[in-house]
């Protein structure tokens, strides 16, 4: 199958690459050092249409789909992988999920702001004791007749303390596990009872905001229930199969960044009278990185093509996410070896690559969970949706 880019997709690629080089690259090291999130970059993405993928044009979408989205995100994440979270946090999380499950009023009220960059988005599932087992969440939304009363705590929420609008998953009927969870649209700027606490002690992804969210009798309007009551688990799994493409693409892009950096350094650095790239051990490492990089990119585009054509893709999305995560971690680790002592210096990006690569093994489903999804579908224990 040929995943060669069309002329229009090449234009998208060039636009995204130019944007990343001009708007993101000059601030990478400064923002890393200061753990600083530049909201204006998200706004500029929205102005260029880089947040409108797979969203109908009537709600502000750009009229393009998954293949263009992956192509653009790849170029952005290759420059600084922290920014792939903003695209997932706005588009493949809230905007697409509201478009799929929301009322017409919800679509018109929230989607245009998310795809234009006027709103910063998020989605909250994880809790202190709830990660892979989403059905074990404790956050509870009580039906009070004319509103919902939300209580509980969410952890490790990307964009949690910087967002304007987000999806929150909560129990609405206790004792039913996954069959008693619902999804809510939360207006963080106009809802009392929400405390947002930045999580600053992280290994990597420093410019990407991560938060703890505490809900204490937060009143959520009845009309902010997204989809049917107690169908939140189904909505969550549907959403994750989209946001995982962001992880897969970001990891593949990071693998590519490590490979490009290692190749450049191997040609510049000399030992024993010749560039280190002339030494067989370095060549073996470069070859391994290249093999994994190409395989990761192929899996990402294959999953995106299936989504584009509305074909079953859960297994392929998990394959792309799992393998790209493995490729990114291996590439980052190998790049640090090739750079030698300089790889351990903060003057070079190897440390950032390695710190950022490790998060892909956890976010949007751990590597163990994706192994399980792939195997269960292959064994026929669950369908490939």
**Catalytic annotation on 308?**
no
> Rounded CA gap, 349 and 124, in Å?
31
Give Cβ neighbours of residue 168 (< 8 Å, ≥ 6 apart). 123, 124, 139, 150, 154, 183, 184, 186, 213, 215
Of 185, 191, 150, 147, nearest in space to 168 by CA? 185
Give the residue carrying structure tokens 């290759």. 78
Contacts 24+ apart (CB under 8 A), 283-288: 285/334, 285/337, 285/338, 286/259, 286/262, 286/338, 288/330, 288/334
Distance CA 353, CA 257 (A): 8
* Cα–Cα distance for residue pair 140/234, rounded to 1 Å: 17
CA angle in degrees (0–180, nearest 5) for 330-92-117: 110
CA distance 221 to 234: 22
**How many Å apart are CA 297 and CA 253, to the nearest integer?**
8
The alpha-carbon radius of gyration of the chain (Å, integer) is 21
Q: Taking the C-alpha atoms of 337, 365, 74 and 355 in order, what is their torsion angle to the nearest 10 degrees?
A: -30
- 153: which strand partners? 214
Report the sign of the C-alpha dihedral through residues 229, 166, 185, 152, in that order.
positive
Q: Which of 268, 308, 364, 378 is catalytic?
A: 364
Taking phi over 0 as left and psi of -120 to 50 as alpha, with beta for the rest, 4 belongs to beta
- Can you tell me the distance from the alpha carbon of 333 to that of 261, in angstroms, rounded to the nearest whole number? 12
User: Are 303 and 247 spatial neighbours (Cβ–Cβ below 8 Å)?
Assistant: no
> Which residues are identified as catalytic?
364
């Amino acid at each position: 199958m040929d995943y060669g880019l069309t002329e229009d997709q090449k234009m998208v690629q060039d636009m995204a690459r130019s944007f990343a080089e001009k708007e993101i690259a000059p601030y990478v090291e400064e923002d890393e050092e200061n753990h600083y999130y530049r909201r204006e970059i998200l706004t500029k993405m929205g102005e260029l249409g880089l947040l409108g993928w797979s969203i109908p044009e009537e709600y502000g979408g750009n009229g393009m789909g998954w293949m263009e989205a992956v192509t653009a995100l790849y170029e952005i994440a290759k420059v600084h992988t922290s920014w792939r979270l903003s695209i997932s946090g706005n588009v493949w999380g809230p905007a697409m999920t509201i478009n799929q499950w929301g009322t017409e009023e919800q679509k018109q009220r929230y989607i245009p702001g998310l795809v234009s960059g006027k709103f910063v988005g998020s989605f909250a599932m994880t809790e202190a004791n709830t990660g892979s087992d989403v059905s074990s969440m404790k956050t509870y939304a009580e039906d009070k007749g004319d509103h919902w009363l939300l209580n509980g705590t969410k952890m490790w929420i990307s964009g949690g303390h910087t967002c304007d609008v987000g999806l929150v998953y909560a129990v609405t009927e206790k004792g039913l596990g996954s069959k008693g969870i619902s999804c809510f649209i939360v207006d963080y700027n106009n809802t009392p009872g929400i405390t947002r606490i930045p999580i600053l002690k992280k290994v990597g992804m420093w410019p990407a905001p991560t938060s703890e969210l505490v809900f204490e009798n937060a009143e959520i309007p009845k009309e902010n229930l997204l989809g049917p009551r107690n169908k939140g688990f189904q909505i969550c799994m549907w959403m994750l199969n989209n946001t995982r493409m962001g992880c897969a693409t970001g990891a593949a892009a990071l693998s590519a960044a490590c490979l490009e950096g290692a190749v450049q350094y191997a040609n510049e650095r000399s030992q024993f009278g010749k560039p280190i790239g002339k030494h067989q051990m370095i060549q073996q490492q470069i070859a391994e990185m290249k093999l994994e990089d190409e395989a990761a990119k192929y899996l990402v585009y294959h999953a995106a093509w299936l989504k584009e054509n509305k074909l079953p893709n859960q297994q392929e999305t998990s394959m792309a996410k799992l393998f790209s995560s493995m490729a990114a971690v291996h590439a980052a680790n190998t790049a640090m070896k090739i750079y030698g002592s300089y790889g351990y210096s903060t003057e070079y990006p190897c440390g950032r690559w390695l710190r950022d690569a490790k998060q892909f093994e956890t976010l949007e489903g751990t590597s163990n969970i994706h192994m399980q999804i792939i195997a269960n579908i292959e064994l026929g224990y669950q369908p490939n949706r």
